Structure 1
């Protein structure tokens, strides 16, 4: 898993990573604009420590992240749920993979126009004999079950439907995320932030035209698929 998200870092070296906290009055804004993980992006330990120090009544979590380590994201999500403040997640550009776990820990999820979400099965890499690989596969299945259960609490879809979406690496536009129950509303008039280079993912959409503030972008979801050999992916 770390290998794949290191590839995301390399592919997006021109991006300006950002983990920033801004406090104003009784509100605090947290920017999660990077890969999630202690070794290659936003550290869960730093995030949780910073979150515990916030005394604001309202927290706005602004997200533009391709995801990262699933366990780091779960620790961050748990801390968000336990915080007494009202937490609103705003997907400014992308909430993919583990970043959706963080977004859905909020009390409310808002999508910027042109933003996207993505859900898929857990990935990792492993070394060892066939018995070791079977153990890893069993662990991944348990993680997938937990993730699907989290999605089911928010989505108006059955567990089996959600597992099917995860199998297919499903990408949601803002409108589709709202329809599926992943989001509560779309923030009209706010243009989505710059998107990531998503080539390490299997079914990443291609934006044909620049995002306009008044309409959803056009995505060619079927004709163009980026198929890279991911050494760590277990089908």
Structure 2
């Protein structure tokens, strides 16, 4: 559970959950209860169930989530199964960990271009004597086996293969998810909503952070924020007026780069 708490804390306030007509948008971490959502942020199974049960007909489920509580995701998935209309899941950004259970439970799973899906083994923490830890390990084995069954129900294949993919923490591109059978197709359209930026540092094999370009004070700065490090490069941006002959562009770039780096280091990751 320590990793789960880190995931929730690192992404607190970054996402949102909303219902729009026949659309449910899960752009958030999945948490266990409304109380957890109020305290830590995220979307709970209780809130999700209230919204989906109030909707009729077919539903468009938009997903961009770094994952969260597996049992909350199980309750959400059951609400998806029980919905009388067709539920189509669209992975707009990422369906990682517990969020992948929602994606594969829908009647149809559609990956946006550039989106990803991730599967891995369940996490928890243990406390007590050797008997307690053995019991915890046995429980984790049961949870993993149930997750394997979910992926197998969607995609087929051998349980051992899914167990191995989970053990390796496997990240699937949109095309790879379709090939593996976890998704039905890759959408030709762009995602319907803007993507939230997730901190995926809690995962072992998370893809590198995206590159963000910032135009500041006449210098275009490329900021690549990776796990545990900040890498900055700079190139001159088009100036509104010619630079005077006595000016030294390289010195000016370095000075402005230092200013931007100082600002970034003051902002929590």
Same fold (TM over 0.5): yes
- Asked if the contact 2:96/2:118 (under 8 Å) is kept, the reply is yes
Q: How does 1:1-235 map onto structure 2 within 5 Å?
A: 1=1, 3-13=2-12, 15=14, 17-23=15-21, 28-37=22-31, 38=33, 39=36, 40=40, 41-55=42-56, 57-190=57-190, 193-207=195-209
Q: Write out per-residue CA displacement over residues 119-151 of structure 1, whole angstroms, 9 at most, x where no aligned residue.
A: 000001121111111111100000000000110
> Within 2, Cα distance between the matches of 1:58 and 1:199?
35
- Asked if the contact 1:94/1:195 (under 8 Å) is kept, the reply is no
Task: Mark the runs of 5 or more structure 2 residues left unpaired by the alignment.
Answer: 213-225, 229-269
- Asked if the contact 2:53/2:83 (under 8 Å) is kept, the reply is yes
TM-score by length of 1: 0.82
Shift of the 155–8 alpha-carbon distance from structure 1 to 2, 3 Å rule, reads same
SS where residue 112 of structure 2 aligns?
Answer: strand
> Within 2, Cα distance between the matches of 1:42 and 1:5?
14
Q: CA deviation at 1:7?
A: 1.4
Higher helix share: 2
Q: CA deviation at 1:207?
A: 4.9
Larger radius of gyration: 2
Q: Write out per-residue CA displacement over residues 43-81 of structure 1, whole angstroms, 9 at most, x where no aligned residue.
A: 1112112211112x1101100111111111001101110
SS where residue 62 of structure 1 aligns?
Answer: strand
Task: Mark the runs of 5 or more structure 1 residues left unpaired by the alignment.
Answer: 211-223, 227-235
Q: CA deviation at 1:8?
A: 1.8
> Within 2, Cα distance between the matches of 1:167 and 1:204?
14
Higher relative contact order (CA 8 A, sep 6+): 1
